[in-house]
Amino acid sequence: MGVEVDTKEFKLKPMKCEFNFLSKSDGSAILSQGETVTLVSVNGPLDIKMQSQSIEKSTLEVLFCTKGGKPSVADRYKESIIKQTCETAILGSLYPRSGITVTIQELEDYGGLLSCALNCTCLALLNSGLAMRFVFAAVSCAVDELGNIVLEPTQEQATSARALLNFVFESRNKNLLTGFSEGSYSESAYEEALERCRAASDLVFTFYRDIISKYSNVI
């Protein structure tokens, strides 16, 4: 069962998601944003070795698997960003001495892979039933050679851009959770990109609500 949302109003890529894509995980989701596709599975809380346990909270492990198979420094960076975001969102204190594993698989990358992976991770966490402080949404944008802001750029637009910026917002107050960028840009360009991405995150959160509602009706 897939749920689609038309995101043309904010010039975002069309999104489509399916829950329970993997039968042997506690939660899973496959998400496409345009032609970029990621698959995420969540397992936990699980029993883990005593030396890895924390008496205060769960131990989170994030694995990012590329289509090519060989991890790179950039892949480890993606893991770090996703882990940092998940640790902020998950109520880990409810699962002490246990482990939670999030596995992200890149299926297709036509631009915006990291934002797609983050959004797919949030959906898989929701599907798993783990307690969360809030849900989160990622939106990426590019600053082109003329200084224009392009939301969710294609691979070609990202390659030719002066800068790439990625933002992750929480659902309660749309506060910025994580921000990361590369390239050169002005302070005004950053502020414009931040606010445009913050506004566009509303549509991502609406997509979450729609798909949860659809699957709840099926259950």
The CA-based angle 69-138-58, given to 5 degrees, is: 70
Three-state secondary-structure class, residue 71: coil
**Tally of CB atoms within 10 A around 162:** 16
Averaged pLDDT, 131-145: 96
Cα–Cα distance measured from residue 100 to residue 162, given in angstroms and rounded to the nearest whole number: 38
Name the burial class of residue 205, with classes exposed (0-12), middle (13-18) and buried (19+) by CB atoms within 10 angstroms of its CB: middle
Which run of H or E residues covers position 98? strand 98-108
Structure tokens at 134: 């809030």
> Band of the pLDDT at 141, cuts 50, 70, 90?
very high
Longest dimension (CA), the chain: 55
Condensed to tens digits (0 to 9), the pLDDT of residues 78-100 reads: 899 999 999 999 999 999 999 99
Averaged pLDDT, 9-30: 89
> Band of the pLDDT at 38, cuts 50, 70, 90?
very high
Condensed to tens digits (0 to 9), the pLDDT of residues 164-212 reads: 999 999 999 999 999 999 999 999 999 999 999 999 999 999 999 999 9
Is the pLDDT at 7 greater than 80, yes or no? no
Cα–Cα distance measured from residue 206 to residue 9, given in angstroms and rounded to the nearest whole number: 13
Structure tokens at 168: 């992750």
Residue at 11: amino acid letter: K
Residue at 154: amino acid letter: T
Q: Are 41 and 143 in contact (CB under 8 A)?
A: no
| 203 contact partners, CB below 8 Å, separation of at least 6 | 5, 7, 9, 10, 12
For 37, 81, 165, 207, the CA distances from 181, given in Å and listed in that order, are 22, 12, 4, 25
Condensed to tens digits (0 to 9), the pLDDT of residues 42-57 reads: 998 988 877 777 788 8
Cα 28–chain centre separation: 13
Higher pLDDT, 60 or 47: 60
Is the pLDDT at 8 greater than 60, yes or no? no
DSSP 8-state class, residue 153: -
- In the chain, what are the domains? 10-218 (3.30.230.70)
Ramachandran angles phi, psi of 40, nearest 5° = -130, 135
Structure tokens at 160: 């030719």
